[in-house]
A and B are shown apart, each in its own frame.
Chain A
Amino acid sequence: MINIIQADLYKFKKSKSIKILFLIMCAAAASVTFVSYLVAQGTIGMEISGPISGLSDVMTIAIIGPFLAGIYICSDFSNKSINDTISSCGMGRGVVIISKAIVFYFLVLLMILPYAVVTVIAFTTGAEFAEPFSPSVFLHILANQTDLSLTGAVIGKMLVIMFVMMLAYASQMSIAIILAFVIRKTSFVIFIGFGIILVLQILGGIGTEISAIENILSITPFSVNNQVLAMDAEVSDIVKAIGVCLLFMVWMLSIANGVFKKSEIK
């Protein structure tokens, strides 16, 4: 397993597309924070926030996650890297899924990291920020509606909450892993993955009056959002969110394994 992870990390070290994606995410995080600042200062109106909301973490990760699954896992099917791992490295399909998932989750965390870093930097400036769009945990923290002062404990809790949110995003992207191992076609994984994840994020974000859907979503990372992960969140809420995220990952990877272990590899 460690060999697959090391080999894939070596590949990504050489990959231009990953570096470009990371720069795009950095730019998106900076843009969203800057707009949030300008809205709070009254320099621009709330109406401009609509188009910029596409750069918020909720939206970008819904696109980037399936995209990463496509260019990473699906490409490894098309360039026969997965074939080679099974036919010449003596590794089982379950090991392949777990290894690919670990690297994939790492990439998702890496892509969302700029939002966390920018949030911490912006928060420490003491400037005023607005929360103009999307149910984003990062913007919610930045808006500092509870008027928290800059202390070690506050920064510590902020880091924990942001880490849990990043974990929730990684967990949500498990859906893209299943799609990648089942469909194996980059374009389909991107389009279908984006559609499914976005719909689930919206349902999870706005909540629903249909209790059945609400109950189902409550056991998924799509229920982990700015309504759950705020600076005044209880420890039990945070622990529950972590548990839900980890269990969802295990659940999704088990499904992927169940499908992949019986399938043919061309």
Chain B
Amino acid sequence: MADYILKIKELTKTYRQVDALRNVSITLYPGKIYGLIGSNGAGKSTLMSVIAGLTFPTSGSIELFGKDNARAIQAERKRIGCMIESPSLNMSLSAKENIRYHRILRGISNVELEDELIELVGLGDTGKKQVKDFSLGMKQRLGIAVSLINNPELLILDEPINGLDPLGVKEIRILLKKLCEEQHITVLISSHNLPELYQVATDYIIIHDGEIKQTLTLGELENKCQRHILIECEKPEDLLVLFENELGTTNYKIMPDKTIKLYDYVDNKRKVATKIFENGIITTNFSVEGDTLENYFISVIGGEKND
């Protein structure tokens, strides 16, 4: 039996001759939290909708929980929890009534689950208050509770921390990590809050213009976001000659703004500074930095890299 829960191969989705997804291939393994990173219109929600069965692919294949024909995949979707774009909530019902509605919809008889989930997402004190009177953050929490009703093995969350206050964000982060560690749930989560995603995800999928640009683990990302010396000077090309001829390194990256990131000599920056000075290169910035996920994402989708 396959050790993965979802495998997407060469998937393309076209809307009126425009590719929303192009030859997307990803594999998700159990117990991991996958951060789906992409700018607006990159194809994140479309990819999630295809997995959820709300949108049909134009070409390519999906294998979900070991099933690869459409009817069997649809049946397996009861093992998925979803919150795509906005939560599935009835505005005129209370939080508990919404949970009850979705519990009945899934044919789950455990009534105690309602209170457990409400407490889990911190909405235990909302009583009979209708969801239409909830804040955006409260609706998001309730949406997450709804997506957890069927004890899913794959949880798909599209921008789940939108509208949450810092405390709510932290609670959701802890909850997702707990679900992943204790129940071995796989989570596919998208967010524009990259620092937050950096704290929660174990793996990253970078998507841009409908194409998967990169998939990498947290370890690989940390390696890519390693500390470096950021140098800005008037003639960066002179600096590159210096790096290669006098410092013997090609481990640098030229950024779109012509600054240069040098990944070697971080703990011996004096040597670099001395060489620069000896070669008469005038620098306007010389500092030790660590790349953020945000910067790395930008470099992947639009920056240049010298590998």
Contact = CB atoms under 8 A, between A and B. Distances in A.
Contacts of A83: 52, 54, 82, 84, 88
B19 to A, nearest CB: 15
Contact of A79 (B71, B76, B90): B90
A85 B75 contact: no
Nearest to B90: A79
Interface stretch (A3-11, A114-122, A231-239): A3-11
Contacts, number: 91
B93 to A, nearest CB: 6
Contacts of A85: 105
B104 A87 contact: no
Contacts of A20: none
B134 interface: no
Contact of A11 (B101, B106, B147, B156): B101
B104 A10 contact: yes
Interface in B61-113: 71, 74-82, 84, 86-93, 97, 100-102, 104-107
B152 interface: yes
A7 B100 CA distance: 8
A240 to B, nearest CB: 37
Interface string A61-81: 000000000000000000111
A89 B79 CA distance: 8
A3 B88 CA distance: 17
Contact of B105 (A7, A16, A80, A262): A7
Contacts of B71: 92
Main DSSP-derived SS at the A contact region = helix
Contacts of A6: 104
Interface string A1-38: 01110110011001110000000000000000000000
Interface in A78-137: 79-81, 83-92
Given A88-B147, A88-B152, A80 B86 contact: yes
Contact of A86 (B54, B79, B89, B156): B54
B187 to A, nearest CB: 14
Nearest to A2: B107
A86 B77 contact: yes
B88 A80 contact: yes
B92 A88 contact: no
B277 interface: no
Given A92-B71, A92-B74, 17 more contacts: A3-B107, A4-B105, A7-B105, A10-B104, A11-B90, A14-B92, A79-B89, A80-B86, A87-B53, A87-B80, A87-B82, A88-B52, A88-B78, A88-B80, A88-B150, A264-B54, A265-B49
26 contacts: A3-B107, A6-B104, A7-B104, A14-B93, A15-B92, A79-B88, A79-B89, A80-B86, A80-B87, A80-B88, A83-B84, A84-B146, A86-B52, A86-B54, A86-B74, A87-B156, A88-B82, A88-B147, A88-B152, A89-B77, A89-B105, A89-B106, A90-B74, A90-B78, A91-B74, A264-B54
